[in-house]
Each structure stands twice: as C-alpha cells, then as structure tokens.
C-alpha cells in the first residue's frame, strides 16, 4: 500500500533510471531521488503499455580489467546523447515533480556526473525546474545508508563478475551520512511540507 496523495521515489544505479522512467510516465509522483543513475534506460529494454524503450548501447569489449582481476565498466557505456541512443533516453520533460540527484564523483560504474549534467540541461531546456544536484568528491558508485561498509568492489548482478565501483573509504563513509540526511530533508519538504527533519543521534 502506498500512502497518498504524495509519492516519492528513491533509486540507485539501474534502480535510478527506473525511477526516472516512473516519474516520466506515471501520474502522482511528487518527488524523485536518484543516486548515481543514468538518464537513459540501461541493461534491458523497458516495456510500458505499447511502448518499448531500448537499452543504452554498451560494448563489453571496452570493459577494462584491473591488475587484481576486477572489471571496470566505465568505458563500456556509450554516450546517451549519440544519435543511435536517442531512443533510449528517458523523456524527463514529462516529469512533474522536483528531483534530487546524488553523484559520487569517483563513480567507476559509469559517468554519473555527466549523466546528472545531461538531466539538468534537458529539464531546463523544456522549462522544468533545475534539479538539485549534490556531488561528493572521493565517493564511488554504491552510496548506501549511513554506517554500511563502503562497497568499492562487488559482484555485478548481471555480469556475475566482481566490478570496481570506486570511492575512497573515509570520503565515501562521510558522503553516505550526509546523503541520507539530504534525502530525508528533500522528501520531508516535498512530501510533507516540512523544511527540516530530526536526525538520528547514532
């Protein structure tokens, strides 16, 4: 059950582009937060009613392997702005509510900072409000809730291989604490009409 009338979305990585798609096509979405998300549909084609959004073109031949044998996928993703990828771009101009985009500037999964810039320019080009973008230096792909161990390397759900996600432990841990506060504040403001939120004493 979803508590109405205000509905917020929170998505990370592939879940982020799913949230962008939901906010673009579904009614009643009040606020959306994405963490290191792409502005194009990724991994697999997205089916919605009689429409299909193809996946962003990727080239596994461009995956780099580190000295330790881990995969680095950064260069395997093609540019969403290339003509061949236009159909995979999520139509953000259809979104009604505000956005918070969280970016790890040492994201080795894909170019999250670049994608955030594309999202901002696309929204403003269509007369939408500029999204709130928070960038965290030294922070990798997996920005989890506070006090989770920084995930610099993990097994990719699709590839089944250990993938490098980046992030310097101290900076990443601090970013997780701050990002969690920023997410709560954003949702309280846009879902409950409150300007602040009581933070955990942990």
Q: Which residues are catalytic?
A: 13, 107, 141
Q: What are phi and psi of 43, to 5 degrees?
A: 70, -55
Q: How far apart are the first and last CA of the chain?
A: 30
Q: How far apart are CA 61 and CA 59, in angstroms?
A: 5
Q: How far apart are CA 151 and CA 164, in angstroms?
A: 9
- The CA-CA-CA angle for residues 142, 143, 144, to 5°, reads 100
| CB 160, CB 98: distance < 8 Å | no
3-state secondary structure of 151: strand
Give the dihedral of Cα atoms 32, 36, 40, 46; nearest 10 deg. Answer: -70
């Amino acid at each position: 059950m979803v508590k109405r009338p205000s509905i917020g979305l929170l998505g990370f990585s592939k879940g982020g582009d799913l949230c962008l798609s939901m906010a673009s096509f579904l009614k009643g979405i009040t606020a959306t937060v994405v963490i290191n998300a792409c502005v194009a549909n990724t991994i697999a084609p997205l089916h919605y009613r009689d429409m299909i959004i193809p996946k962003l073109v990727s080239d596994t031949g461009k995956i780099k392997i580190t000295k330790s044998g881990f995969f680095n996928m950064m260069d395997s993703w093609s540019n969403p702005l290339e003509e061949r990828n236009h159909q995979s771009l999520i139509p953000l101009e259809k979104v009604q509510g505000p956005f918070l985009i969280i970016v790890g500037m040492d994201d080795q999964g894909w170019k999250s900072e670049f994608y955030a810039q594309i999202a901002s320019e696309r929204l403003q080009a269509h007369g939408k409000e500029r999204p709130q973008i928070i960038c965290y230096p030294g922070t990798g792909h997996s920005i989890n809730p506070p006090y989770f161990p920084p995930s610099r390397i993990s097994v990719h759900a699709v590839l089944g291989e250990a993938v490098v996600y980046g992030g310097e432990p101290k900076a990443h841990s601090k970013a997780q604490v701050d990002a969690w506060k920023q997410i709560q504040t954003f949702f309280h403001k846009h879902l409950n009409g409150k300007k602040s939120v009581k933070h955990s004493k942990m």
